[in-house]
Structure 1
């Protein structure tokens, strides 16, 4: 299986020579969904920031579609789409204008943009809101706009931080169905979420972080074994066994 994302021996943080994430190693293959899980402060956000190129690793290497950010910034950045936990939109743009802006940045032709945007607006039940300014939207609607912009690109790699936060039940279902459909197309997902019961149903593998280090990684069967649990243990129980006794706090 071709690797869309490879994180190899990643050390990094906010102060030089004081890494808050240490020796992070995992990869995503084409059409694969990996859950990045951990307590608050376990290092999930710091890991994601390094993958996005917002932070520079002290040690280790990150490749997206086979290249590092230094080797080919255009290919690296153009191969991924990111949805943050908190929606970040331009207050003076409408939903439609946000989508048009994304289409231009990613070089989509007009026909492709119109087809994809129409489908996404309908899927997230936002067609009637398409010409509304983002400042007039609820948090859940703003989150939907972020998701629509990401899926408009049909990027090979999606990094989604707490994707279900603020969405209503229909929005969550629409998102999960869309993620499943994009997986079938070969798109890959790195999903950070605290809603373990949901991602257990959809993720192929997991990376469990604890205090900046990997507590376990692999399929559900793999991390069950690493946690010393039986075959009927779910992700919640596995997670509690791996990190539940370590207490809250840690890194960002």
Structure 2
């Protein structure tokens, strides 16, 4: 499985937010997408999800081009947003059923896959509850459960740790490692660079809508001439001219 983002330029209006983005993701790796606020991380993700139409460029997962077969393309990925998207009128179990229906998974299979996740995130007793009443951390766990019952080729995860307690964060990281070991791929956008350095195999650093560095830590150290420096130090170095927004 290969995810390809080729010559991607795009944004929300006529002025591009990201320019000529190129990278590949391979099976069995966790890749960190990092950059300052406004660097283009969310815009890149929205294009990969098919929520924005690119001005130019190609997107594909396992040779399925988003422009040629968007339905099949989307079934190859799942997404955990930064802010949970909860439907007030649906219980936790109905959120699981809705996700299953969207991906063509039968309810029994969905609940079998959800069982260990519900146990891990301590939500087994909440199946009949409306998550709109949950705390933000609990809502985020609903998003995680729904994303992980799909078993897609690619997981796109945007700031996954916001609102999670330390146990929830570790459980989330353990799930990501488990999926990596199964040969699946995780693209994770995060500002928690110490965690990214520990768990990610490679990094894509964005600044002002362009990729300014890409590779594993040793490669980034070599590219920047910052031997033995941490990801945090390299990140600050390559983005120090950036403007936060």
- TM-score category (smaller protein): over 0.9
| Alignment correspondent of 2:109 | 112
Q: TM-score, normalised by structure 2?
A: 0.97
Q: Shift in Å at residue 208 of structure 1?
A: 0.3
| Alignment correspondent of 2:241 | 245
| Alignment correspondent of 1:159 | 156
| Alignment correspondent of 1:178 | 175
Aligned-partner Cα distance in 1 for 2:242–2:42: 19
Q: Deviations over 1:194-218 (max 9, x none)?
A: 0000011111111100000111001
Q: Name the SS for the 2:149 alignment partner.
A: helix
Aligned-partner Cα distance in 1 for 2:137–2:59: 32
Which blocks of at least 5 consecutive residues in structure 1 are unaligned?
A: none
Q: Shift in Å at residue 109 of structure 1?
A: 2.6
* Residue number among 96, 101, 105 corresponding to 2:98 in the alignment: 101
Q: Shift in Å at residue 173 of structure 1?
A: 0.7
Aligned-partner Cα distance in 2 for 1:36–1:73: 23
Q: TM-score, normalised by structure 1?
A: 0.94
Q: Name the SS for the 2:98 alignment partner.
A: helix
Q: Shift in Å at residue 160 of structure 1?
A: 0.5
Q: Shift in Å at residue 27 of structure 1?
A: 0.9
- Contact 1:92–1:134, Cα closer than 8 Å, also in 2: no
- Contact 1:11–1:57, Cα closer than 8 Å, also in 2: yes
Aligned-partner Cα distance in 2 for 1:87–1:15: 25
Aligned-partner Cα distance in 2 for 1:32–1:186: 8
Aligned-partner Cα distance in 1 for 2:172–2:129: 21
Aligned-partner Cα distance in 2 for 1:221–1:60: 29
Aligned-partner Cα distance in 2 for 1:240–1:217: 15
Number of positions where the alignment pairs a residue of Structure 1 with one of Structure 2: 245
Does 2:23 align with 1:13? Answer: no
| Alignment correspondent of 1:75 | 72
Q: Name the SS for the 2:219 alignment partner.
A: helix
Aligned-partner Cα distance in 2 for 1:179–1:45: 20
* Aligned CA distance change for structure 1 residues 137 and 11 (closer, same or farther; 3 Å): same
* Residue number among 61, 66, 84 corresponding to 1:64 in the alignment: 61
